[in-house]
Structure 1
Amino acid sequence: MGFFGVLEKNYKINLNNQQKEAVTHTRGPALVLAGPGSGKTTVIVSRTAYLILELKIKPENILTLTFNRAAKIEMEKRFNRVFSDLISGKKVRFSTFHSFCNLVVKDYEKMQGKYLSRIEGNEESKNNKRLILKEIYENINGSRINDDQLENLINDIGIIKNKMIKNIQEFETNIKNFSRIYNSYEEYKKANLLMDFDDMLTFAYVILKKFPSILKKYTGRYTFIQVDEGQDLSKIQFEILKLLTGPGDLAGFKEKNIFIVADDDQSIYGFRGAEPEYILNVEKQFGGCSFYYLNNNYRSTANIVHVSSNFIKNNTRRYEKKHSTCNEYKYDPFIIEARDQTAQYNFIVDKVNEHLSKKRDSTIALLYRNNISSIPLAEALDRNGIAFNVKQNKLFFFNHWAVQDILAFLKFSLDQTDIDSFSRIYYKMNRYISKAMLEYALKAGYKNSVIDGILKDSDLETYRKMTLLNVKSEFKKLSKKKPFDALNYIEKNFNYFGYVKEYCDGTGLFYDYIYSLFGVLKVMALKCKKITDYLERIEEVKELLENPSSESRVTISTIHSSKGLEYDCVMMLDMLNTELPGESAIDLAREENKAELLEEERRLFYVGITRAKEYLYLIYPNFRNGFKEERTIFIDEVLECMRVKTLNDIAEGMIVNHKHFGKGVIAAILEENKDKVIVEIDFNGVRRKFDLIMCLEKGILKIY
């Protein structure tokens, strides 16, 4: 019995012909283009066993590199679960790219007798990356950096390292004095023998290049290298791979036994420095590269496979593929138009309950482009008794300065002695209250209101006293308003966003983003009757997102964090042009003919829709934050894929089901063109005419 016979009989692993071809690749470079749900992990694990059992390669000579720790753990577990009883002795090494590079750095440290401190992962340490950058930013710019800006700063530093950018001055960023901050940060680390996460890559690259003895240690040990998620490689990672695999006179061997599994259609980490070009041009990097295709999708229904594979063909910078599946046709993607955000959440709640009632162990994913969408979604789910877990939620919303400002208005309305809240907002509400007035109140003292302390100043002009009395009265009235009305008052009467606009113009922050935070607060306020209830609810939602249910079958996640996972039902919400692909991506493609960003956003949408096994809902609200929104152009592209398939398949005699009239038969095709198909359907002798495309889009008709 051969290797594949043993896999099938003993371990129930039945590989298809494409998978077998990839598994039996032995020498030289190879690129395996693995589509969604095509069993790429099974291929890597099986090939590892094939190398050991059939080719007698020693386990310690095989290195498998993964994109993240979760993938490393899953692959290692799966390999050991299946093959541990067949392979004894030394273990195969499964490692994240960063962990491997850290090993290289440790070898260098040992050689030099100098040791670096790692400054990520320990938030309590004073040598913490975030604290160091905060201090450097404040020293250079004379102001504190907020959480959003800090995240952007860290991300931009990562891009510099991953893309190996040398001219920092020409790097485009919204961070004030970025090059000075970057250089100061690098100097600080060097002076204090510190290393961050990105340095693991850059240091390892330099060490492997400058110290042949260390390079030879790894090229001699790992004669077979496998890479998972190759489309997510950055330039620095690709350069490290090239060092580890040749040329022969440097690395110590001539064969470049590198086996890369990738899907260029799922390259979605451009913001981290990943670029699909390295995979698209792999033959230039590794001459004589063999290509293998894993086209069969074991995950999704035929409907979803057909739509997704045709949808991604709108991208031009990609390998051509022929995705297929043996799964049956079931349901086309459901396109859901909601009046506003509240209607969107109501639909989601109803559908989640419907799916769970039909099948209690059904897995459901609620996916969104940006983390901010998780807040009103979590609130709606919890309010309706639906438990959920959160996938890798990185959320700064509740600590954002603008959110804290709005809450300070509300808190001060309830307690006018709350000096902390008043100190946040006194100069942000268009009432001409100065810092000197605040300081006077602190010295003079007050009993019922901070404003009473200011009014004790005998030098105040009469008109100022009248203004202050009005402010005191305003806050008293504000405390009695419903939360939603109170937020409107803060916006319109206190003109808070006039201050925000001016602040954004001066700092380069995005006003629209900050106003969107206010929109989230307003959505959450709709169901609360009192400000006290509203403030409590915000704390409850914060706790929910920080400590979600781990047992729930419902997962809320960004599309990025859902990559590599699958669910029976996927609902993608807030599918708007402003969210995905984003207006900047559309503008760059239309006005400057630069489609790179638009194509990455299309790949992200593709990742989202290919998580679905059976049900896929694409949901968009017509209005958000009171403004009319346009649904994402990607929904139009999905509809076009569905329309083309319908036009190709439509024929007289086909059975259909109408939402109101029940089952019928297409008796005649009366008109057929690019925009519409008019059919006549026979319902038990009664014939009716319909615009087939429109009825299918609205879910009124279903074709069997």
Structure 2
Amino acid sequence: MHFLRNNIKGNAAQMEAILHKDGPAMVLAGPGSGKTFVIVERLRHLIEECSVDPSSVLVITFTKAAAIEMQHRFYKITDSLYPEVCFGTFHSVFYQIIRQSNPSNKFKIASEKDKYRFVKDIILKLSSIHNIDKQESLDAIEMIGDIISEISRIKNTGAKAGEHLQNIPFSNYFEEIFREYNSLLTEFGMVDFDDMILKCYELLKRDKRLLDTWSRRFEYVLIDEYQDINLMQYKVVRLLCATNNLFVVGDDDQSIYGFRGSDPGIMQKFTAEFEGLDPKIINLNVNYRCAKRILYASNMLIKDNKIRLNKALMPNEGSPDGFVYPRRYIDKRQQSAAIIRFLSDNMDKLDSIAFIFRTNSEALALADLCKQYGIPTNLDDHAVSFVEAQGVRLCENYLKFVYEGKKREYFLKIMNNPNRYISRNALSNDTLCEADLIKYYRGNYDRIKEIEKLFRQLNMLGHMRPSLSIRFLRKEVGIDKMFPKDMAALDELSELSVKIADNKTFLKELDKIRENSIGEKKAKSGNKGKCVKLMTMHGSKGLEFDIVWLPGLNEGIIPSRSCVTNEQIEEERRMLYVGMTRAKSALIMSYLTGNKENPMMPTRFLRPIRHLWEGDHSSPSSPSSGSSTSSSNSTSSR
């Protein structure tokens, strides 16, 4: 162990990184290896020991939250003496460059709502031009997020629109969508975040004076989470970093954002990119987070990836053995029962337990189950906001009017959402019928047309199952368009609707969810942090917990069925690696076996550690009872 100023300790690799001054350097920082410590201590060393001007240092992170956290850590160890150091995201830095190039050039950043509206309008236009089947158009509208993600990926990788993925909706028309989308941005004086990267790159290439100004300004550039960089971001960084004093920190084994255009290959080619400049590669190979058995299993798993930098994490000296508990269950019901038993036996430790899933819907399903058993989760607030969202309430009122007696109270809430200019004076009875309204508006053709259309829609709702009803209300009636801020809540409503067979039961379920949520906010205010954490593998990145359970590790879930290329498969394996390395003391991993009629396979990723499941695991026990060996069928109470 080596000492820095003020007796701050660092291991040999950390010290090598902290004391590095000039020239390109890449720090391979595995999970729990102290990368943030290295970055902030290197910043201090540059300024206080090497007399580097603080205003000549740029620190780039991938999210605003990460930039703020890094800045706070730096201010804490330097007593806020150097506010000139620039902390920012790629987008914030590129935005500054674009604005400085032409202060009078006013442009607006397109919101998610703007992008959604543009793509939807384009789909409807193309449907009309090409006589596309209405159902295909509706399916595409429902998956607009996938189209927007592909537009983003194309821009971030510098690819051409013709090189798009084939498994997106409207793939035959993607080039037209891409072209029209960019035309609409220009027409409305907007840019999206991805355009900022392209615009910045083009400006710096074209304007030598601007490039000179910015490359002189920052003598030292540090980039965190370098494995998540995409090609266009990298090209801009190379232009800005004229001194080649580029210090990057990352772990290609944790690159899990390929859908955004992130390319771990950029990190893997670092030495070749800086050939002739003696690039330094520093491996932070000591893990201070995970117990030995957890780290051993994680290392074994990730070694199966072929496209990776050769490295292996070691446990910290004196690190405990820890526990890895393998589990298999016949079906979800059996797995869920085991989870509830485990949580019920560990109510005093909930804040130290996390369940990490491949998809958000799996996390939400467990949140619902925990709610039934009075087990608090971090998603409880999410469930409350879901039923209280305006868009959800409106869907509910449409269904209540149709299925609960065509009452005036419900009609008042739907008749002008969207606005049909129907007057309250037209509602003379406690129950509504189309004939009475038409009679009231006799001679007013426009109003009668609106009423007839509304009642056609209501009649159709009366013959639909819940999933189709919600889809119809969102797309045909236009509730998505009316409440763009409620998209997440409406998506959750759609997910729930698929599970229920009829609308009357569906309405009762919504009422039950709302009733169960009453008073919860007060209860939570005195229970801050005292809940089990449920999240996706993507959402778990950067976090750590004493106990982690990874349920449902089956083929088809991870890797997802949609993954076909070697690159996609390796990214899915990295996701599982990220999930495993969130655990400090105990890691529980489970999969479903299915039955003879419907057998299920564990994910291929478990092959290197399949010995953990050897022995008789056909009768799963509660993971909170029994012995505590790493390959045991039982999990000790923790």
TM-score, normalised via structure 2 length = 0.75
Task: Give distance in 1, aligned partners of 2:593 and 2:149.
Answer: 32
Partner residue of 1:262 out of 250, 268, 272: 250
Q: CA shift at 1:341, angstroms?
A: 2.5
1:290 is matched with which residue: 257, 280, 285? 280
CA positional deviation for 1:182: 1.3
Which stretch of the first structure deviates more once superposed, 333-342 or 609-618? 333-342
Report the equivalent of 1:481.
none
- Does the alignment pair 1:189 with 2:185? yes
Q: Give me the whole-angstrom Cα distance separating, in 2, the residues matched to 1:137 and 1:257.
A: 46
SS in 2 for 1:63: strand
Pick 1 or 2: higher relative contact order, CA cutoff 8 A, min separation 6: 2
Match of 2:20, SS state, is coil
User: Counterparts of 1:553-702 in structure 2 under 5 Å?
Assistant: 553=530, 554-585=532-563, 588=564, 594-622=565-593, 629-640=600-611, 697=631, 699=633
CA contact (8 A) 1:30 1:291 kept: yes
Asked whether the 8 Å contact 1:409–1:490 carries over to 2, the reply is no
Q: Deviations over 1:453-483 (max 9, x none)?
A: xxxxxxxxxxxxxxxxxx99xx9xx9xxxxx
**Distance in 1 separating the partners of 2:43 and 2:506:** 60
Identify the residue that residue 430 of structure 1 maps to in structure 2: none
Matches of residues 56-205 of structure 1 in structure 2 within 5 Å?
56-84=51-79, 87-88=81-82, 90-110=83-103, 113-120=104-111, 128-142=114-128, 143=137, 148-168=142-162, 171-176=165-170, 177-205=173-201
CA-based RMSD: 4.5
Partners in 1 of 2:381 and 2:215 — Cα distance? 35
Q: 1:178 and 1:530, CA in 2 relative to 1: closer, same or farther beyond 3 A? A: closer
Q: Corresponding residue for 2:443?
A: none
Mapped to 2, the partners of 1:331 and 1:535 lie a distance apart of 43
Work out the CA distance in 1 between the residues paired with 2:524 and 2:28.
Answer: 36
The residue type equivalent to 1:353 in the other structure is S
- Please list every run of at least 4 consecutive aligned residues from structure 1 whose deviation after the TM superposition is greater than 6 angstroms: 391-399, 404-411, 416-420, 516-519, 522-526, 540-548
**Partner residue of 1:281?**
269
Gaps of 5+ in 2: 129-136, 416-432, 439-458, 473-491, 615-624
Matched residue, 1:19: 14
Q: Does 1:211 align with 2:189?
A: no
On the 8 A contact 1:581/1:632 being kept in 2, the answer is: yes
Residues 1:546 and 1:631: Cα distance change in structure 2 (over 3 Å): farther
Residue type of the alignment partner of 1:388: T
Superimposed CA distance per residue, residues 19-65 of structure 1 (whole angstroms, 9 cap, x where no aligned partner): 00111111111110001100001000000001001110011111010
> Does residue 534 in structure 1 map to residue 518 in structure 2?
no
Q: Is the counterpart of residue 350 in structure 1 residue 341 in structure 2? A: yes
3-state DSSP class of the match of 1:94?
A: strand
Are the equivalent residues in 1 in contact too, given 2:401–2:411 (CA < 8 A)? no
- With over 3 angstroms needed to count, the CA separation of the structure-2 counterparts of 1:575 and 1:149, relative to structure 1, is same
Q: Which moved more, 1:63-72 or 1:628-637?
A: 628-637
Specify the alignment match of 1:681 in structure 2. Answer: none
Q: CA deviation at 1:299?
A: 0.6
Q: CA deviation at 1:335?
A: 2.2
Decide whether the 8 Å contact of 2:326 with 2:613 is kept in 1. Answer: no
Find the aligned partners of 1:559 and 1:580 in 2 and give their Cα distance.
Answer: 11
CA positional deviation for 1:518 = 8.7
Q: Deviations over 1:203-254 (max 9, x none)?
A: 11111111111111111010100000000001111111111123xxxxxxxx
Q: Distance in 2 between matches of 1:60 and 1:148?
A: 47
2:169 aligned partner, one-letter code:
I
Q: Is the 8 A contact 1:390 1:548 kept in 2?
A: no
Q: Is the 8 A contact 1:563 1:607 kept in 2?
A: yes
For the 8 Å contact 2:57–2:85, the answer to whether it is kept is: yes
In structure 2, relative to structure 1, the CA distance for the partners of 1:343 and 1:610 (3 Å cut) is same
1:313-340 deviations in Å (ceiling 9; x for gaps): 0101111113111253444322222333
C-alpha change, 1:373 and 1:540, in structure 2 (3 Å) is farther
Give, in angstroms, the shift of residue 187 of structure 1. Answer: 0.9
Q: Which amino acid aligns with 1:140?
A: L
Q: Is the 8 A contact 2:24 2:246 kept in 1?
A: yes
Paired letter, 1:225: V
Q: Kindly state the Cα deviation for residue 562 of structure 1 after the two structures are TM-superposed.
A: 0.9
Contact 1:229 1:261 in 2 (8 A): yes
Amino acid at match of 1:346: A
Shift of 1:174: 2.0
Q: Distance in 2 between matches of 1:303 and 1:340?
A: 27
- 8 Å contact 2:327–2:633 — kept in the other structure? no
Q: CA deviation at 1:408?
A: 8.3
Q: List per-residue Cα deviations over 1:158-186 (Å, max 9, x = no partner).
A: 00110111243655352312221211111
Deviations 1:566-612 (Å, cap 9, x if unpaired)?
11111222322221112243xx3xxxxx4111111000000000011
How much has 1:283 moved relative to structure 2? 1.8
**Using the alignment, how far apart are the partners of 1:216 and 1:540 within structure 2?**
62
| Alignment correspondent of 1:464 | none
Structure 2 CA distance for partners of 1:548 and 1:372, relative to 1, 3 Å:
farther
Measure how far apart 1:129 and its partner are.
2.5
Q: Is the 8 A contact 1:570 1:609 kept in 2?
A: yes
Output the CA distance in 2 between the equivalents of 1:495 and 1:198. Answer: 35
Report deviation, 1:405: 10
1:46 to 38, 41, 45: 41
- Which residue of the other structure, out of 297, 302, 313, is the alignment partner of 1:312? 302
Residues 612 and 630 in structure 2, CA contact (< 8 A), matched pair in contact too: no
Match of 1:6 in 2: 5
2: CA distance between counterparts of 1:60 and 1:596? 40
Aligned mates of 2:123, 2:289 — CA distance in 1: 47
Runs of 5+ unmatched residues, structure 1: 247-254, 424-440, 447-470, 479-488, 500-515, 589-593, 644-658, 664-694
Task: Name the amino acid aligned to 1:268.
Answer: I
Question: Any conservation in 2 of the 1:202–1:236 contact (CA below 8 Å)?
Answer: yes
Structure 1 residues 581 and 540, CA gap change in structure 2 (3 angstroms):
farther
SS in 2 for 1:291: strand
1:338–1:619 CA contact under 8 A, matched in 2? yes
Higher mean Cα deviation, 276-285 or 227-236?
A: 276-285
Alignment partners' CA distance in 2, 1:544 and 1:40? 42
Residues 396 and 566 of structure 1: CA distance in aligned 2, closer, same or farther (over 3 Å):
same
The structure-2 alpha-carbon separation of the partners of 1:257 and 1:408, relative to structure 1 and needing over 3 Å to count, comes to same
Alignment match, 2:374:
385
Query: Does the 8 Å CA contact 2:326/2:612 hold for their aligned counterparts?
Result: no
Report the 3-state secondary structure (helix = DSSP H, G, I; strand = E; otherwise coil) of the residue aligned with 1:577: coil
Conserved? CA contact 1:393–1:557, under 8 Å: no
Cα distance change, pair 155–530 in 1 and its aligned pair in 2 (3 A)? closer
Quick one: distance in 1 between partners of 2:222 and 2:386? 39
For residues 101-126 of structure 1, the C-alpha deviation after alignment (integer angstroms, 9 at most, x for no partner) is 1111111231xx321111227x5xxx
CA distance in 2, matches of 1:206, 1:73: 29
Find the residue that maps to 1:75 and give its secondary structure.
helix
Equivalent residue letter for 2:543:
L
Aligned-partner Cα distance in 1 for 2:633–2:544? 25
The aligned counterpart of 1:647 is: none
Please say if residues 218 and 241 of structure 2, whose CA atoms lie closer than 8 Å, have aligned partners that are also in contact.
Answer: no
Amino acid at match of 1:535: L
Alignment of 1:486-505 (within 5 A): none
Task: State the secondary structure of the residue aligned to 2:346.
Answer: helix
Counterpart of 2:357 (choices 324, 345, 368) is 368
Deviation at 1:193, TM superposition (A): 1.7
Q: What is the aligned length? A: 551
In structure 2, C-alpha distance between the alignment counterparts of 1:305 and 1:232, rounded to whole Å: 23
The residue type paired with residue 552 of structure 1 is: G
Q: Distance in 1 between matches of 2:370 and 2:229?
A: 37
Does the CA-based 8 Å contact 1:34-1:40 persist in structure 2?
A: yes
With over 3 angstroms needed to count, the CA separation of the structure-2 counterparts of 1:410 and 1:371, relative to structure 1, is farther
